[in-house]
Amino acid sequence: MITQKIKGVLKMITTEDFNESTFAWPKGFYSDATHIGLKNQKLDFGWIYSKVPAKTAGVYTTNKFCAAPTAKTKEIVSKNHELQAIIANSAIANSCTGLQGENDVLTEQALVAKRLDISPELVGVASTGLIGAFLPMDKIEKGISELTLATNTDITKAILTTDTKAKIISVDFDIQGIPCKISGFAKGSGMIHPKMATMLAFVTTDIAIADNTLQPLLSELTDITFNQITVDGDTSTNDMVLTLANGLAGNAPIKENSPDYQLFKAALHFVLQKLAQKIAADGEGATKLVESNVLNAQSSSDAQKIAKAIVGSNLVKAAIFGADPNWGRIISTIGATSADFNPKTIDIKINEFPVVQQSLAVDFDEAQISNSLKKDIITLTVNLNDGDFAGQAWGCDLTYDYVKINATYSS
Amino acid sequence: MITQKIKGVLKMITTEDFNESTFAWPKGFYSDATHIGLKNQKLDFGWIYSKVPAKTAGVYTTNKFCAAPTAKTKEIVSKNHELQAIIANSAIANSCTGLQGENDVLTEQALVAKRLDISPELVGVASTGLIGAFLPMDKIEKGISELTLATNTDITKAILTTDTKAKIISVDFDIQGIPCKISGFAKGSGMIHPKMATMLAFVTTDIAIADNTLQPLLSELTDITFNQITVDGDTSTNDMVLTLANGLAGNAPIKENSPDYQLFKAALHFVLQKLAQKIAADGEGATKLVESNVLNAQSSSDAQKIAKAIVGSNLVKAAIFGADPNWGRIISTIGATSADFNPKTIDIKINEFPVVQQSLAVDFDEAQISNSLKKDIITLTVNLNDGDFAGQAWGCDLTYDYVKINATYSS
């Protein structure tokens, strides 16, 4: 929720200022996907195209083995701040593939550029799947020749790996009385699952935005959304979040700290957070979404660090799978972080039930809390009573199926 | 292996300089244990006593919620550098128990001191088990009255929680022609498993050692042994390693950098490493011990960081459970650390089989490696080819039983 002072009146921007709608592409965006034989029968290759070059911001993996497509896309977006197309495949990550991998990316860019009659530097490339395998360039080339300028949503399925469902969201809102749309989609089922090469998220919007405005906004919002989810704690070589704004809604370009900017920020935050939650909820083997809320910390980074540690603890995750109100694991996890806090003033709630007050156990009805832990969404609230800052993170439970999926993947 | 220059001759100290023997207490150490009703029917309470005060060094949890017994023991060992007795229980951690927990520790110390006719400040206290529960002091008092100055090894069982076996080792060696012994035991089935309150290790020896020598040595060796194992990545509130040297072997006190010191260091290193490996091999649900060796790193700390990250990765652990030679997960884990290295020069072996050379896949026989991953001990070797430093770490596989144990613990 964002508070914005407009002409002396405090206006609270809430989700009521924009509407979650059925997924559709913003003005001027086209998309199509196909099956080129990387996956068994399923859609595995697709693109997004914007009628005009779109202002583009990106956030990329920090893994030292950055995959070839991720590195190339980062390079061109950092230099030009715009893209007009994105080509994406699943099943093969084109990571740890050396010079051949880099050349395959250049070839892929050139083929898409030729087909769409645009510069190769306007083509972003994204891959997700097995590390160490090369792209079958004959199939890629054939695929590019088959894709059309449709407006279907097949690409939201084509990028999936072990995901059990597509993660999509559209929101509508007015800026300067002009209807605008943000539509995002993501894959990831394992915040991090390196072999499957993890998370991708693409957000498209038709708003017009001023120069040098989208990148800092995306970076800020990624830190409190995608960077606050975890499924298994690893970081892949192919992680990428791209946001494209093509300006075709026709509004005057929005500038930082204007009321329009605050509304757009709230809507984009909503889109990124929903996609992040959808990834966490569909974590490998997951049966539950776990949200941790840390309140009254000494700093935002302390609050976020603790929130993420809680949803990242195998012991907490296994306890939640087992509907076990085991607060000792939560408090131990808090204590093992590098965050600063007073260890004597902590209150903990599991869902709505207090289990710890002032760092000591309170009497609670174990059966009642265990029952509430059988819900699909679990909330863990930690009040540090030691400051004014809050943070959130999202994860999932640790289940037999997580072990099964990851023990039997390649055999 | 330690190389020591003696009178101009290089002498290599190897494990042949000391003998692993059947577990027995060093001269002047006594021990007994009993069942006081904390666990169901099993041994759960015991002590160690030395005829004379023993020089003592300790390493303790870094968790901000340090349990009352751990904090008290740390306080007295840091002040006096000696203990004459240790009292230990399993099943209840006496952690997050506030003032009452602290008072219970003082009472326990006083009761043991009275029974043994020594100062309470010579009594170390260790607890392991459920966080947030209070010690039943009537049972503790009765237990202390029942313990005797025996020389049995029951205490090595009494400290266990979800461990499937006791972890014990004795080594014999001569110093100045005088036979000496080091005997150690540990518990832990989860490097860290906060609710069960994790790892304890006690090492006793009859050697005489000079002042201010044991603590730096224990700290140095703990960093490359117990601090390099991981089962699930959490840090408990009760972790403690204590080493007691009572001097009753009768050797002249050994001083730093003497040949005797190097031999003692090698023997103590061997004891700590064996106990650490035994904890990792008996990790909750584990079917295999996993050792990672990182070679030719830019620094020791980089090598150790990478080694520990590899055995700590859920994805690597699940792949090893599934006998899946999934090197992409290993390389992703390396890339996600904060260590410095050249990402283009990495060689990886799974057991004796090369799978990556110069950061690129090599052809390998998947069935052959998968078969070798069915052994009880798995070795992962990473050669960074970027420096002169090495590091090791130990862990275990991630199995259905890990999830089962931790999902169903309290219900």
Looking at the fold, whether A355 and A258 belong to one and the same domain comes out as no
Side-chain-facing half-sphere of B115: CA atoms under 13 Å: 23
Chain A 275-304, residues with CB within 8 Å of chain B CB atoms: none
User: Is B338 in the A-facing interface, judged by CB distances under 8 Å?
Assistant: no
Q: Are B274 and B201 in contact (CB under 8 A)?
A: no
Q: Are B360 and A97 in contact (CB under 8 A)?
A: yes
Q: What pLDDT does A190 receive?
A: 57
- In whole angstroms, give the CA distance from residue A30 to residue A152: 8
* A381 or B229, higher pLDDT: A381
User: Is A258 in the B-facing interface, judged by CB distances under 8 Å?
Assistant: no
* B318 or A123, higher pLDDT: A123
CA angle, corner A196, sides to A190 and A198, nearest 5?
45
Looking at the fold, whether A19 and A86 belong to one and the same domain comes out as yes
What's the gap between Cα A165 and its chain centre? 14
Q: Where are the alpha helices (DSSP H) in B51-188?
A: 68-80, 98-116, 137-146, 155-158
User: Is B91 in the A-facing interface, judged by CB distances under 8 Å?
Assistant: no
CATH code of residue B294: 3.10.20.340
Residue A6 lies in a domain: no
Listed range (A221-225, A259-263, B197-201) with the worst mean pLDDT = B197-201
Q: CA-CA distances (angstroms) from residue B354 to A196, A408, B317, B350?
A: 22, 21, 19, 7
B335–A190 CB contact, under 8 Å: no
Strand, coil or helix: A93: coil
Mutate which: B161, B314, B317, vs A, most A CBs within 10 A: B314
Looking at the fold, whether A262 and A369 belong to one and the same domain comes out as no
* B183's tokens: 């005997």
Chain A 364-403, residues with CB within 8 Å of chain B CB atoms: 366, 370, 398-400, 402-403
Looking at the fold, whether A276 and A308 belong to one and the same domain comes out as no
Looking at the fold, whether B219 and B238 belong to one and the same domain comes out as yes
- In whole angstroms, give the CA distance from residue B177 to residue B170: 19
Looking at the fold, whether B113 and B53 belong to one and the same domain comes out as yes
CATH code of residue A169: 3.60.70.12
Looking at the fold, whether B250 and B325 belong to one and the same domain comes out as no
Among B281, B315, B334, the domain-final residue is B281
Q: What average pLDDT does this structure show over B326-337? A: 89
Looking at the fold, whether A253 and A296 belong to one and the same domain comes out as no
Which 8-state DSSP code applies to residue B195?
Answer: G
Residue B179 lies in a domain: yes
* Catalytic residue positions of A, numbered: 198
CB pairs under 8 A between A and B: 213
Total count of domains within chain B? 2
* Catalytic residue positions of B, numbered: 198
Q: Which domain holds residue A350?
A: 289-407
Residue B191 binned pLDDT confidence (cut-offs 50, 70, 90): very low
Q: Which residues contact A48 (CB under 8 A, 6 or more apart)?
A: A29, A30, A31, A85, A86, A88, A155, A202, A204, A244
- In whole angstroms, give the CA distance from residue A40 to residue A49: 26
- In whole angstroms, give the CA distance from residue A391 to residue A360: 23
Residue A4 lies in a domain: no
Looking at the fold, whether A92 and A119 belong to one and the same domain comes out as yes
- In whole angstroms, give the CA distance from residue A227 to residue A392: 10
A403–B318 CB contact, under 8 Å: yes
Report phi then psi at B407, rounded to 5: -90, -20
| Beta bridge pairs of residue B90 | B128
CA angle, corner A109, sides to A107 and A115, nearest 5?
100
ipTM for the complex? Answer: 0.78
Residue B104 binned pLDDT confidence (cut-offs 50, 70, 90): very high
Contacts of B359 in chain A (CB under 8 A): 65, 96, 98
Angle at which helices B400-407 and A314-321 pack, to 10 degrees? 70
Nearest residue, CB atoms, B96 vs list A331, A402, A409: A331
Looking at the fold, whether B36 and B83 belong to one and the same domain comes out as yes
Looking at the fold, whether A276 and A294 belong to one and the same domain comes out as no
Nearest residue, CB atoms, B64 vs list A322, A327, A343: A343
Q: Are A190 and A402 in contact (CB under 8 A)?
A: no
Looking at the fold, whether A254 and A361 belong to one and the same domain comes out as no
* A330's tokens: 């939560």
Q: What are A375-384's pLDDT values in tens digits?
A: 999 999 999 9
Q: What pLDDT does B209 receive?
A: 97
